[in-house]
Amino acid sequence: MITVTTIAEVRAHCDTARARGERVGFVPTMGYFHEGHRSLMRAARAENDLVVVSLFVNPTQFGAGEDLDAYPRDLAGDAAAAADEGVDVLFVPAVAEMYPSGARTTVHIDGLTTGLCGASRPTHFDGVTTVVAKLFSIVGSCRAYFGKKDAQQLAVIRRMTTDLDLPVHVVGCPLVREADGLAMSSRNARLSSDDRARASVLSRSLRAVTEATRSGERDAHELRRVVVDAIGAEPEVRIDYVEVVDALTLQPVDTVQHEALIAVAAFVGTTRLIDNVTIDPRTLSADLGVTVSAVEQESS
């Protein structure tokens, strides 16, 4: 694996690979790799010839007072993990490489970005779509791998890719969970041990709402209440939102008739965590993702 820091270098590697008829797989990240990231790298490795991972803690997707400075970082550990997963090119640009002075362009996706995380983080998705559009432009035609952990982000990136006719095939990958159900996140490293134990209430609340749907509950208000009540078992966990929305449009629904996303964000201590489940009432199937032990077994 080689580590590059300039746009010109990573672009040259991708262009050379495509000129040889090779397929390029791309995994955009903010680093501090865990099994969730590694599962995306493995998916990219399995389906492409050249695998590119970007590691960039993108300042424009953090709002004022958010955890940009406290965001966990470990470049040496990340480089070792990426090499271990067979990544070919690790792209680690400086902020000035991605945002040279004078930049004035922002990519904004309407509608999909106003609810859920967009309600409490109003500038977040503009930061995400701007940096991902730039990364797609740098890497060029490729398959790009995103986790369903960030369900709204995945929907927004798909919309952007379609709307801007970007030559990128977006692949959604399963949400990877710890053994106790907690969705893996770089931010979990910042939880105290007490908060770490409390945080598993989020996935328990989603299991509870999955059961409620399977028992026939379709009323979004009631389903939301199941999640809120379950999280209430941990009074230290402060809900940011619990929403029941259409899985495609991300618009709130009153009754769950089609595939629905039930999404939650909550503060555990000072750390904001998100989680979700996608439920299809017609088949009673629920996509809660996979546990890390299953992922590890599959890869060994």
Looking at the DSSP bridge assignments, the partners of residue 280 are 285
Q: Would you say 274 and 150 are in contact if contact means Cβ atoms under 8 Å apart? A: yes
Angle at 111 between CA 278 and CA 107, to 5 degrees: 110
Q: Look at residues 275, 116, 265, 266 and name the one whose alpha carbon lies nearest to residue 182.
A: 275
By rule CB under 6 A, what string of x and - marks binding of each residue 87-126 to ligand AMP? ----------------------------------------
Catalytic center residues: 37
Contact pattern for ligand AMP over residues 11 through 30, marking x by CB under 6 A: ------------------xx
- 201 touches ligand AMP by CB under 6 A: no
Of 124 and 149, nearer to ligand AMP (C-beta) is: 149
Contact residues for 48 (Cβ-Cβ < 8 A; gap 6+): 22, 23, 24, 25, 142, 143
Q: Per rule CB under 6 A, is residue 150 in the interface with ligand AMP?
A: yes
Interface stretch with ligand AMP, choices 37-45, 65-73, 195-203, 214-222 (CB under 6 A) = 37-45
Report the 10 Å Cβ neighbour count for 57.
17
- The DSSP call for residue 252 is B
291 binds ligand AMP (CB under 6 A): no
Closest distance between ligand AMP and the C-beta of residue 68, in Å?
13
Enumerate binding residues for ligand AMP (CB under 6 A).
Answer: 29-30, 36-37, 39-40, 146-147, 149-150, 173, 175-176, 183-186
